[in-house]
Amino acid sequence: MLLGLACALGAAVLYGVGSVVQAVAARRLPAVEDGWVRLLRAAVRNPLLVCVVPADLAGALLHLVAIDTIPLYLAQAGIAAALPITAIVSARVLRERLGAGDWTAIVATGVGIAMLAADAGKAGSGHHGSGLVVGLYVLLAALVVFGFAAYRGSGRASGAALSLLSGLGYSGATLGVRVLGTPDWSPRTGLLLVGMALSGAVGFALYSFALQRVPVAGATAPLVFAETVVPTVVGIAVLGDVVPPGAWPLIVVGLLLSMAGAIWLAGFEGRTLDRVKSGGLVG
């Protein structure tokens, strides 16, 4: 249990710091309308974005260990700590003061995660039926369609939709890990690995597009919400994650605290958006 939780929190640190760096990099990229070739060339040549990729991969590896060893409701709540870390890093680098409400939200997130860890049950097992593999590809197709529609929109609503869809993409990758179980050489394993990789790539792309339109924490909050709630529900309802008898109230309160704290912190980045856009984050 401790190993899985430590891995989840370690992944949150990498994701939280990486999201701030990714925000700066994403806002320096050309729009898709200028051409995919130009966009990809600029992304490859952007040193900040290049640094984010290995950090995200390292975070993903830690996340994989957490998914495999602890229930998804605890693993994903641990990942929700990325948003408080994003706020703290943004405040530190931009010399922006966190208010009493922000610190309360950070504490609430930590308390919520602690409550979940104290009452967590056993993690479910892998090797589920092929229906879940099909479901992963249905989700992937839906993300591409709705992601394209959201990108054609504009303003904060478009950014929030892109962020929420990116969270669903990361949720698909998370659930794929649990469904995978012990890898083998079967077609099922191959299909799952491809689907997980594509889901993660789509989630990364949609999040980058969201960061071009809304503040860091504003883009991160819907993502964290989706990638926490969806795996939690599916993990308990379908994949066999256990909630110990009598622990439901504490589990629910823990989830609500961690989510409420993370969502509150979505407002912090709004106070620093102008400085981020002007390059203050790296100046």
Which tens digit of pLDDT belongs to each residue from 99-147? 888 899 999 999 999 999 888 888 876 666 678 889 999 999 999 999 9
pLDDT score, position 282: 43
CA distance 109 to 191: 36
**Dihedrals φ, ψ of 127, to 5°?**
55, 55
pLDDT score, position 148: 92
- Residues in the chain with pLDDT < 70? 23-24, 26-39, 42-44, 93-96, 125-129, 181-183, 216-217, 266-283
26, 183, 230 from 47: Cα distances, Å: 11, 34, 33
CA distance 28 to 211: 11
CA distance 264 to 118: 24
Q: Tell me if 62 sits within 8 A of 14, measured CB to CB.
A: yes
Q: How far apart are the first and last CA of the chain?
A: 41
Helix-strand-coil split of the chain, %, nearest 5: 80, 0, 20
